[in-house]
Amino acid sequence: MDVTRRSMLKWSGAGVAAAGFAAVIPAGSAEAAAVPNAGSVTAAAAPSAATQAAVKQAKQLVAEMTLDEKIAYCHGIPATKGFTGHIPANERLGIPALRLADGPSGVGNGSTGVTQWPDSKALAATWNPATATDYGKAYGAEQAAKGHNVALAPCINLLRLPHWGRSFETYTEDPFLNGQLAAATIRGIQANHVISTVKHFVANNQEILRNSIDVVVSPRALQELYYPGFRAAVQQGQVGAVMTSYNKINGTWAQENRVNVQDTLRDAWGFDGMVMSDWGGTHSTVQTAKAGSDTEMPGSTYLGDALKAAVQSGSVSEAQLDTMVTQVLTAMIRVGLFDHPLPDPATVVDTVVSTPAHLALARRIGVEGSVLLKNDGVLPLARPRSIAVIGNAADAGAQTHGGGSGSVNPNGAVVTPLAGIRARAGSTPVTYSPGTLGIAAVPVVPAAAFGAGLTATYYASTDLTGAALGTETVPALNITATPAAVAGQTDGWSARYTGTFHADETAGYRFSLGVGGLTTLSIDGKEVLTALPGREAVQNALVDLTAGEHTVEVTYVSAAPVGGRAPRTSLVLGAQAGYDKLHQAAAAAARAADVAVVVVADVTSEGMDRSTLALPADQNELITAVAQANPNTVVVLNTSGAVLMPWLGSVKAVLANWYAGQEQGNALAAMLFGDEEPGGRLPETFPAANDQGPAKTTVEFPGDGVQVYYDEGLAVGYRWYEHSGEKPLFPFGFGLSYTSFRLGGLRLSRTAGGLRAQATVTNTGRRAGSEVVQLYVAAPDAAREPAQQLKAFTKVTLKPGQTTTVTLEVARDDLAVWLDSTTGWTVVPGSYTVGVGTSSADLPLRGRLSLS
């Protein structure tokens, strides 16, 4: 591939030139010259007196430090139980230790006695910065009580694609909503004198090859999409620390990317705090120091002895080192770590820091962030005579948090959906049927099922061609070490396993694969599953088999990415019969009840991306079977984000409940019975099919093994759908209520600082409820934007019949677009269309204003 040519044609300064909306207005053109650079969009405000005092104190401390004492602040050391990074105290100078702890949805790293909160997606779905601040305060208090003075949260990477495995850790596809939530959460965390760490800077939007991938993205897309949340974190949230990402951005590792760190984060936005690497994300000494970064986490490979030697040799000036340490100390002083000492984590490992108030807040976020996607009158439940609760996820398989650094241990038991519904139902009978084997791996196929075993044939190629390196018989497919025949093939290898599988009964079989390489499973000559590495830990196939022998073939390819090493070998095949019988039992339970509540889930984690937006395993089939048995079927989605819904037309109600934390069941029951109203609105678009949305080619996601091209430019999320004309399943900002609202009376006016919109909102229903009023602006054609964009929103709660007037302000700077590095941020003169409504696709109130 001609990367230079592709870069010039696809993204040079513009976004999607090929799509027709991202061509840059040339410097010096009439459009660009008409309005001066809106520099205040990115320019840093003058430091406050408190910040100036913090910087002064930090510099005084640095002046007293020895070289070794300075170097100590440029790298972490291994941490102990309950936190993940540590910089020891400087007792001589009275500088407290730094103890860094995960994660975005609660105190992580195996901590106990803490609250397992609803995930960040649930918080984002509240569309309520005040709630985000409340969460930040409570979460920060738990970090502080555990002796952690640096919280590695929030994660605010824009959701470029809903397939991202860390979708549950982040907020949204929209940069404006992202920034508002980020700043609010940070203010709450730092109110506890705990440094908030916003992450991962920048363009970290996939897990596949995240440690090596080079993100090729236009400067305009960075400025308009991927930077704004971080800019808001710095300028509105006054965040103390920024964590860089693992990936490269336009050819340079994030931690040593001067354009991003020094030029943008520090010089343009005025960030004065600590820039740390993600764990193992540092790749150089001199370049990292000169890029504006401060600290390597963990260990000291590059910013320990190597940095000391670079300073002594003059490769890095001592003035640069002083600046690095000053920035770390400035964050500590500014956030209040010196004046508010915390306990030694070792003394509070077993201390319970979760409180009844925190659990109540977790329930409130679970309610306020749940999105009612469909309701044909079945909710809230009106005195049902009986309820059938169905789904493994309703009980033993309750999915209340994601995996990786975002995982959190609850204090006490998780309230499952089944437990919550039973507790609230009182004397109303509640039956339960699991309906599915769940979404975890099913038992490994025993050797007895393969009779004489499987014939394994190994190849030095990665496409099963060429002379075989050798053959052997393996008893089963539970392989977690590289076979001896291919042990020396560091550039990759492949294998074919053939044999027979004995089905003990005629039934529906679920096969599961856990793989480290590209794997196909064929039964009786038909390929039933292709399992991709770097995706879900468990990938599934549903196959109807008759009792007896069936031919089976499994192919496995262990291919090293370009410039990398072959992945860890893993090939684990599981099987279990009878998923169809579980569906039949669930349908019978549903048929006998007034209403059926089906709870379904997915499992996502750091380190993986989703291969599909379909619900895993046999959950779609389960919902279909239940809906055929009971017309009053409610589906509860405990998922990381968007899922496909082939059964949508057959069910009465759908509730997006996300990963709802340890109070999930209580919050869910309150909504189902109408004690509370689901108050959320979608922070992301739900596609109608896997092939909707941007990044339709491999080079656009997950990349060619070296680079991934953000060829969609500015068309991410709802911007893509409006630009392309694709119709999603549910649009960004969408959500129903248990009541109804009417918007009217739009009045637009220009203000000295931008524009103002006023509208009336009336609750036209019979019960109190909340609505999120959203304002979108479509710029003049000369701005070359793909779609109208969210620029303001407010959440109102009204009693039946109540009317209120909402006022939405948009600063002039928020109307600016990034033309190129010469013109920078520019408010393009012309006519702006303002739409006010309740989602990106429902804006009934419209008006126009001209700006010059």
Please give the model's pTM, rounded to 2 decimal places: 0.94
Active site residue 278: yes
Residue 510 pLDDT more than 90?
A: yes
Q: What is the pLDDT of residue 34?
A: 29
Give which of 756, 778, 750 is closest to 852, Cα–Cα. Answer: 750
Q: What is the pLDDT of residue 490?
A: 81
For residue 608, name the pLDDT band (cuts at 50, 70, 90).
very high
From 26-30, 84-88, 110-114, 137-141, the region with the lowest mean pLDDT: 26-30
Question: In which residue are the tokens 């059938």 written?
Answer: 388
Q: What is the pLDDT of residue 22?
A: 29
For residue 438, name the pLDDT band (cuts at 50, 70, 90).
very high
Angle at 429 between CA 426 and CA 434, to 5 degrees: 115
From 15-24, 54-63, 454-463, the region with the lowest mean pLDDT: 15-24
Q: What is the pLDDT of residue 1?
A: 31
Mean pLDDT, residues 624-628? 98
For residue 43, name the pLDDT band (cuts at 50, 70, 90).
low
For residue 562, name the pLDDT band (cuts at 50, 70, 90).
low
Condensed to tens digits (0 to 9), the pLDDT of residues 176-205 reads 999 999 999 999 999 999 999 999 999 999
Q: What is the pLDDT of residue 81?
A: 80
- The first and second tokens of residue 660, run together, are 């709802």
Give which of 618, 673, 620, 638 is closest to 430, Cα–Cα. Answer: 673
Instruction: Show the domains of the chain with their CATH numbers.
Output: 1-34+735-852 (2.60.40.10), 37-343 (3.20.20.300), 357-437+581-684 (3.40.50.1700), 447-577 (2.60.120.260)
Condensed to tens digits (0 to 9), the pLDDT of residues 203-218 reads 999 999 999 999 999 9
- The first and second tokens of residue 295, run together, are 């600290």
Q: Tell me how far CA of residue 95 lies from CA of 238, 340, 655, 828, in angstroms.
A: 21, 12, 49, 49
Q: Comparing 375 with 563, which gets the higher pLDDT?
A: 375
d(CA 38, CA 817): 9
For residue 688, name the pLDDT band (cuts at 50, 70, 90).
very high
Residue 136 pLDDT more than 90?
A: yes
Mean pLDDT, residues 396-412? 95
Q: What is the pLDDT of residue 514?
A: 95
Query: Catalytic one among 102, 119, 214, 278?
Result: 278
Residue 39 pLDDT more than 90?
A: no
Give which of 617, 620, 608, 622 is closest to 511, Cα–Cα. Answer: 617
Mean pLDDT, residues 638-656? 98
Q: What is the pLDDT of residue 820?
A: 86
Condensed to tens digits (0 to 9), the pLDDT of residues 351-402 reads 999 999 999 999 999 999 999 999 999 999 999 999 999 999 999 999 999 9
Residues 6+ apart with CB under 8 A from 60: none
Mean pLDDT, residues 600-609? 95
Residues 6+ apart with CB under 8 A from 327: 58, 272, 273, 274, 275, 294
Condensed to tens digits (0 to 9), the pLDDT of residues 218-244 reads 999 999 999 999 999 999 999 999 999
Beta strands in 134-203 (DSSP E): 150-151, 195-201
Mean pLDDT over all residues of the chain?
93
Rounded-to-10 torsion of CA 569, 574, 580, 581: -150
**Long-range contacts from 822-825, C-beta under 8 angstroms, 24+ separation:** 822/27, 823/25, 823/27, 823/32, 823/37, 824/37, 824/38, 824/39, 824/42, 825/37, 825/38, 825/39, 825/41, 825/42, 825/223
For residue 41, name the pLDDT band (cuts at 50, 70, 90).
low
Q: What is the pLDDT of residue 38?
A: 31
